[in-house]
Structure 1
């Protein structure tokens, strides 16, 4: 009798803890499934959906092992819905045959000019980059790039350098024409038309204000909404840079529904984290992206470390179809 009486409190405690954990999981899952980018804390939670998904599967399995059938069943059902949304990012999509101009685009957040310019230029050379989209480009960083020889490999540029995190820029192997492609935003988002040998290409260096600032995510939401849609009547278009958003955020999913594809997702690299580089806390997430016009087949995608920056750079190759 004594043994039975001692087990009951532990059983109730286990059930209570499972219910609390399951409730937290379901709330986090609901933010993603219902598309709620509310407060900055909600936005931050949504960024962790791949981790939330793994936790949900584990919680459901534990609940079933402990014979908490209702808790386990509900948790696993919700977790499986998240798995269906997240898991495909780790597998390549079928690629149509592309005939046209191959283009390699690299995006790099420079951490207010602290990134090593030599490392960026070395990556540009090693990966034979055609177009480089830069965020947090400072005047001092521009001078560092000049000393590092960026002009030798990417001689054309549209730079909007500013002190702090506001600057951005585009450098290219091919001639550039500056264009205002994004709506006015808190941080500069350079845009340019790239004069390719075949069809032209429009590129935006993307950098909306982070959503976790004390004032809340409203400015981030407005900046994301101001990014240009794909234009079927104009040049092919690419959005590349630090979106401060994952594939689980409403603003980014809206762009994908407007005719873009995420290059990393296309080749099965959609779970490779880009920020923070070289750290385990906060949990690494995927907030740097290259969104490509869905008429452009994506060949490759790679994440690379850049010393001095808290972001990993991203490089993708795709085909701009021939006219």
Structure 2
């Protein structure tokens, strides 16, 4: 009797393991096909595709499980999905190693203030430690701007282009060097401010504090896509785009933006898998990399870093760039 029970238990475990292997493998294969197809369906795929690095890891686990169970067909499918997703994801963890221009440095810091409630003192301490030339803020409210000004932000950054708003739609650019305001990008009550920085080294750089709508629910994709597509393409003047893109390198509009002639600072330095959202207190949500510093390909990238800031769901990000 015990031998029959043990056999049944073993067979049951094996059946469940096989189902898991096929389920993970099949899902990963479909995911890889969609991700690499050049076609991006609407909701819920747009928010879901942000977790592609996690799916790539799951595909690898499915491969190991299928191989252990000697499921050749499942293992072959898992191998194809793992290779396909790995081809898209792994290069982000590898530094480019190319020759960078030996010009003037430009330090950029971007922070989403989560409707203005981020800790003012901690942000000022971060500014004091990193000494950025440019500070790009998102979700800047009138109250947050008042607190920052009282904390001495104008003394650190004498030049600014600000567009504070109640809620999540405000943004700003602060700089140590002169700024010429440009026309803000407006979509869905989200204002992405623009300005041209006159660097003392002689270069002129157009800056954008990036924050399109979040595609977190059905019906928001047109606003999100329009906000990303309205960002200036590379070519012409030097440009740096920094902030909360609400997009990862797996989103098609983001890939199209980079293909126009930009480079993502995290990707260039091998930190492209560092997640920037959510920052604490969001339960089991997988981390995703949606905050970026993106620079014209003619601009060098020396370093990239992810920081912490109390009171907000986003990690601030910084980069040290080199102007040609």
Shorter-chain TM band: over 0.9
Provide the rounded CA distance (Å) in 2 between the counterparts of 1:251 and 1:186.
20
Provide the rounded CA distance (Å) in 2 between the counterparts of 1:29 and 1:316.
31
**Aligned residue number for residue 265 of structure 2:** 263
Pick the aligned partner of 2:51 from 48, 51, 56.
48
User: Could you state the TM-score of these two structures normalised by the residue count of structure 1?
Assistant: 0.94
**Aligned residue number for residue 150 of structure 1:** 153
Change (3 A) 1:262 1:12: same
Provide the rounded CA distance (Å) in 2 between the counterparts of 1:16 and 1:284.
27
CA contact (8 A) 1:90 1:265 kept: yes
In the alignment, structure 1 residue 209 sits paired with structure 2 residue 213: yes
User: Could you state the TM-score of these two structures normalised by the residue count of structure 2?
Assistant: 0.93
In the alignment, structure 1 residue 78 sits paired with structure 2 residue 47: no
3-state SS of the aligned residue for 1:104? strand
**Aligned residue number for residue 226 of structure 1:** 230
Q: Deviations over 1:9-61 (max 9, x none)?
A: 55444333322222222222223112343232211221001100000001011
Q: Which moved more, 1:3-12 or 1:32-41?
A: 3-12
CA contact (8 A) 2:187 2:226 kept: no
In the alignment, structure 1 residue 62 sits paired with structure 2 residue 48: no
Change (3 A) 1:2 1:307: closer
CA contact (8 A) 2:185 2:191 kept: no
Q: Deviations over 1:197-229 (max 9, x none)?
A: 111110000001001123241211111111110
CA contact (8 A) 1:177 1:192 kept: yes
- When the two chains are superposed, the root-mean-square deviation of aligned CA atoms in Å is 1.8
Q: How many equivalent residue pairs?
A: 319
Q: Deviation of residue 157 (structure 1)? A: 0.4
Gaps in structure 2 of 5+ consecutive residues: none
Q: Which moved more, 1:194-203 or 1:116-125?
A: 116-125
Gaps in structure 1 of 5+ consecutive residues: none
Q: Deviation of residue 136 (structure 1)? A: 0.3
**Aligned residue number for residue 110 of structure 1:** 113
**Aligned residue number for residue 276 of structure 1:** 278
Q: Deviation of residue 95 (structure 1)? A: 3.1
3-state SS of the aligned residue for 1:95? coil
Provide the rounded CA distance (Å) in 1 between the counterparts of 2:17 and 2:270.
38
Change (3 A) 1:30 1:216: farther
Provide the rounded CA distance (Å) in 1 between the counterparts of 2:17 and 2:271.
38
Provide the rounded CA distance (Å) in 2 between the counterparts of 1:30 and 1:143.
49
**Aligned residue number for residue 249 of structure 1:** 251
Provide the rounded CA distance (Å) in 1 between the counterparts of 2:46 and 2:29.
15
